Amino acid sequence: MLWTASLCLLWALSIVGAPVNKQRQRVLLISFDGFRWDYDRDVDTPNLDKMAMDGVKALYVTPPYLTITSPTHFTLLTGRYIENHGVIHNMWFNTTTTEKRPYYQTQFVNEWWDNGTLPIWITAQRQGLKAGSLHFPGTASSYQGQVAMVREVEPLLYNYKNETAWRENTDKVMGWFRDQDLDFVSLYFGEPDSTGHKYGPDSPERREMVKQVDRTVGYIRNSAEQHGLTDSLNIIITADHGMSTVYRNGLVEEITLSKIPGFSFRDLSFHLVDFGPSGMLLPKPGKLEKVYSALKGAHPHLHVYKKEEMPERLHFAKNDRILPIILWADPGYVINGYFPVQFHKGEHGFDNQEMDMKPFFRAVGPVFHKNLEVGPFETVNIYPLMCHILGIQPEVNDGHLNATKHMLVTSATAQDVNFLRNVFTGLAAVAGFLVIVFIVMVSHTMIKNKRKNKRPANLKHLPEKENTKQTAF
Ligand SMILES: [Zn+2]
């Protein structure tokens, strides 16, 4: 018995003591708002090129529809299509009171975000990891009473293009990883979206902003190294949508709903238009067919759908928040309500099949292959990839690891590290138990031997039991 226990103990210790040389893996998810997949083609981007050499580059990625900021960012955080996660617009709205809140105010409308789908911060924290977020859409809200444990929400009227602030934010996030031992952080930069809107995607201003993004990518990687994170940090850089040039000044026949024969705003109880190329309408009771037939086919570049007839591929119908009539325009056009009030030179919000709506994707870190270019994939697949790297169980989602796992060096994922960690913990428990058994048995044997030796010579023939009894007195 003693021998068996000793052997078990030696075996367990030999396994537990074996070196587990796989490093725990962390993830930094970065979004540069509105960075179109091909923005590196007309600008020198040495740091993005270096990142592609050291890691993985996708030709492009496909965002979910509707291709606007808050909905597509929430897809990055949840792996769900927009109809499934419910953050269907940048603007919170109430069709009864007709109240609408703009992008920034909507960040603080908790029930808009917290409606059943958990972002990765919460899932990671529930499974024992530590998560943070800086300026990423959705950060201000709580989810089932929980928030990202380290978070920073930008103030109102924040200057999204200040490069010095970008560097400070980068160092802050790297400090979170190093000093607060975080496993996951999402980090948001508001450019080149604003510049793309204001000057258009083909402008010299946009090209300058891409150079600023590129310098920042170099800074981010350098900061990770300075903070001693190179062996454990995996950096994913992507965006929420692309950008497309808007045609105006008599170049095209603009889409203005009030000018369409048979259409009247009086037939609507609520509408969301004058918001780039997309719109949603809630007709008054009994007016749906009238509104629909007036708009359908009214302009060659205006798409009009009843919610239930939306193309399946867009995954933008099956949610109560989506209004009964959905409109979108072809690239080059925006949808105006009463008269044109939009003067951006660039817009997004178009069909996610349009190449101008596709974001870029880069990834670098210990788990990723080096110098690998992969084909396009949907951004719903980034969530299961991140969960896999972190070694956490994902929530129900619309993505699949099969779409992205070819980017990984299979032997280095945290899934394996976590598995080994579990094996390690299990074996440690077994070893602990065996040590106790070992100690008990050894002590027992020693006491027994001691007693045997102490027993008087004349009692040595007596049975063990009686001897024990006598000693007890
Ligand atoms: Zn955006």
Ligand 1 geometric centre to CA of 347 (Å): 10
- Band of residue 254 on the pLDDT scale cut at 50, 70, 90: very high
Q: Which residues contact 243 (CB under 8 A, 6 or more apart)?
A: 34, 36, 192, 193, 196, 197, 201, 206, 346, 347, 348, 356
Structure tokens at 98: 């007709």
The pLDDT > 90 percentage for the chain reads 80
Q: Which residues contact 316 (CB under 8 A, 6 or more apart)?
A: 64, 65, 66, 81, 82, 83, 88, 310, 322, 326
Residue 473: per-residue pLDDT: 29
Inter-CA distances, 93 with 96, 105, 320, 322, 431, Å: 9, 11, 13, 11, 59
Ligand 1 geometric centre to CA of 441 (Å): 67
Q: Do residues 100 and 91 lie in contact, with contact meaning Cβ atoms separated by under 8 Å?
A: yes
Before 311, cis peptide (omega within 30)?
A: no
Residue 8: per-residue pLDDT: 43
Q: Convert the pLDDT of each residue in 261-290 to its tens digit.
A: 999 999 999 999 999 999 999 999 999 999
Residue 160: per-residue pLDDT: 96
Domain boundary among 343, 369, 396: 343
Whether residue 427 sits in one domain with residue 394 = no
DSSP string, 282-315: EEPTT-HHHHHHHHTTSSTTEEEEEGGGS-GGG-
Q: Convert the pLDDT of each residue in 328-367 to its tens digit.
A: 999 999 999 999 998 999 999 999 999 999 999 999 999 9
CA distance 92 to 104: 10
CA distance 376 to 353: 12
Whether residue 277 sits in one domain with residue 230 = no
CA angle 101, 68, 114 (to 5 degrees): 60
CA distance 442 to 323: 76
Whether residue 177 sits in one domain with residue 77 = yes
Mean pLDDT of 94-111: 97
Ligand 1 geometric centre to CA of 473 (Å): 85
Whether residue 380 sits in one domain with residue 421 = no
147 lies in a domain? Answer: yes
Kindly report the average pLDDT of the chain as a whole number: 88
Whether residue 395 sits in one domain with residue 429 = no
Residue 22: per-residue pLDDT: 63
171 lies in a domain? Answer: yes
2 lies in a domain? Answer: no
Mean pLDDT of 418-430: 52
CATH number at 354 reads 3.40.720.10
Whether residue 185 sits in one domain with residue 102 = yes
Q: Give yes or no: 69 in active site.
A: yes
The 8-class DSSP code of residue 242 comes to: -
Mean pLDDT of 231-239: 98
* Choice between 373 and 2, residue whose per-residue pLDDT is larger: 373
Ligand 1 geometric centre to CA of 460 (Å): 91
Residue 201: per-residue pLDDT: 98
Whether residue 369 sits in one domain with residue 268 = no
Ligand 1 geometric centre to CA of 42 (Å): 21
Structure tokens at 130: 């530590």
3 lies in a domain? Answer: no
435 lies in a domain? Answer: yes
Before 66, cis peptide (omega within 30)?
A: yes
Domain boundary among 408, 437, 455: 408
**Which one, of 276, 365, 257, 266, lies nearest residue 91 by Cα?**
276
The pLDDT > 70 percentage for the chain reads 82
Inter-CA distances, 136 with 111, 185, 216, 252, Å: 17, 9, 17, 36
Q: Do residues 375 and 402 lie in contact, with contact meaning Cβ atoms separated by under 8 Å?
A: no
Domain boundary among 343, 360, 393: 343
Burial of 447 (0-12, 13-18, 19+ CB in 10 A): exposed
Q: Examine the pLDDT at 13 and tell me if it is beyond 60.
A: no
How many other C-beta atoms are found inside a 10 Å radius of the C-beta of residue 438?
Answer: 17
Whether residue 150 sits in one domain with residue 112 = yes
Whether residue 318 sits in one domain with residue 377 = no
CATH number at 288 reads 3.30.1360.180
Q: Examine the pLDDT at 395 and tell me if it is beyond 50.
A: yes
389 lies in a domain? Answer: yes
Inter-CA distances, 201 with 69, 70, 196, 276, 303, Å: 17, 20, 5, 15, 23
Whether residue 146 sits in one domain with residue 275 = no
The helix/strand/coil state of 334 is coil
Mean pLDDT of 410-424: 52
Q: Convert the pLDDT of each residue in 46-58 to its tens digit.
A: 999 999 999 999 9
Q: Do residues 34 and 348 lie in contact, with contact meaning Cβ atoms separated by under 8 Å?
A: yes
Ligand 1 geometric centre to CA of 2 (Å): 68
- Band of residue 23 on the pLDDT scale cut at 50, 70, 90: confident
- Band of residue 449 on the pLDDT scale cut at 50, 70, 90: low
Whether residue 187 sits in one domain with residue 171 = yes
**Across the strands, what pairs with 93?**
100
Ligand 1 geometric centre to CA of 191 (Å): 8
Structure tokens at 159: 């200057």
Q: Examine the pLDDT at 458 and tell me if it is beyond 80.
A: no
Domain that holds residue 263: 255-343
Ligand 1 geometric centre to CA of 63 (Å): 11
Residue 12: per-residue pLDDT: 42
- Band of residue 10 on the pLDDT scale cut at 50, 70, 90: very low
**Which one, of 184, 120, 75, lies nearest residue 393 by Cα?**
120
Structure tokens at 213: 């993004």
Mean pLDDT of 379-402: 98
20 lies in a domain? Answer: no
Ligand 1 geometric centre to CA of 133 (Å): 17
Q: Which residue has the tokens 């540069």?
A: 32
- Band of residue 437 on the pLDDT scale cut at 50, 70, 90: low
Residue 251: per-residue pLDDT: 79
Which listed residue (62, 69, 72, 413) is catalytic? 69
How many domains are there within the chain?
3
Mean pLDDT of 305-321: 98
Whether residue 467 sits in one domain with residue 445 = yes
Ligand 1 geometric centre to CA of 172 (Å): 23
How many Å is the maximal CA-CA distance in the chain? 123
Ligand 1 geometric centre to CA of 210 (Å): 15
Strand duo 255-256 + 335-336: pairing: parallel
Q: Do residues 57 and 370 lie in contact, with contact meaning Cβ atoms separated by under 8 Å?
A: no
pTM (2 d.p.) = 0.84
Residue 466: per-residue pLDDT: 32
9 lies in a domain? Answer: no
